[in-house]
Structure 1
């Protein structure tokens, strides 16, 4: 899937649906029946409104006073891959199945990826 100039949430929901296998007629909720997904051009994804500066990702280091805050702009400067990965991971189930499904996701900042031998098909939506 090419994320060039697409809205982050819309890309993430479509990717999560394909990872989960909900587009297939033999979908089963407790089974990994989805496909592997390759997302390219993650650095060119869009956010609407003022989300680049006002949306907040909060994490905690585990130490007292260890709350850390990051905006999408900061995450994009550090690693554009993490922005797409966080969005997709938040849309997967929060259990063993979700962790297994997440391993089928491959995100790349540029337009090149090393999976050409698997002959991936481009997904349009």
Structure 2
């Protein structure tokens, strides 16, 4: 009888994937990033093991949004104290820190466990064209 093979941390081979966010739809790009980080694109996917790849996103500030989301969508933060709710419009957040926007969106698509905290560390987001991971660029 054939048994399903479960992957171990020692057996996993991680790759570095560079994604260009220029003129791509934000939601579809975030979904693709979450799948790669989690490792669901690999045949050896195991839910309780971190088997995903590293993802480097460049041109994060040139991502595209559909509809009127840039002016209408708001993100809220709350420190826990009364009356401390703050909001930011998507357009402000994209100009100020696109890295935070990408990290927040991807984190929402990952499982809410300790495993997700290790997975999100493999996401590297840069607003411009350059990134310090030049050794990982395939030629």
TM-score w.r.t. the length of structure 2 is: 0.83
- State the distance in 2 between where 1:69 and 1:54 align: 12
Contact 1:16 1:92 in 2 (8 A): yes
SS in 2 for 1:14: helix
Any gaps of 5 or more consecutive residues in structure 2? 1-18
- State the distance in 2 between where 1:101 and 1:113 align: 20
SS in 2 for 1:103: helix
Which region of structure 1 is more displaced relative to structure 2, 79-88 or 1-10?
A: 79-88
Distance change in 2, residues 1:93/1:120 (3 Å): farther
TM-score w.r.t. the length of structure 1 is: 0.92
1:29 aligns with 2:41: no
Q: Runs in 1 of length 4+ with deviation above 2 angstroms?
A: 118-121
Pick 1 or 2: higher relative contact order, CA cutoff 8 A, min separation 6: 1
- State the distance in 2 between where 1:21 and 1:42 align: 22
Offset at 1:120?
A: 4.8
- State the distance in 2 between where 1:3 and 1:77 align: 15
SS in 1 for 2:76: strand
Offset at 1:84?
A: 1.6
- State the distance in 2 between where 1:120 and 1:41 align: 18
Which of residues 2, 11, 23 in structure 2 aligns to 1:5? 23
Structure whose CA Rg is larger:
2
Contact 1:8 1:87 in 2 (8 A): no
The alignment yields a C-alpha RMSD, in angstroms, of 1.2
- How many residues align structurally? 121
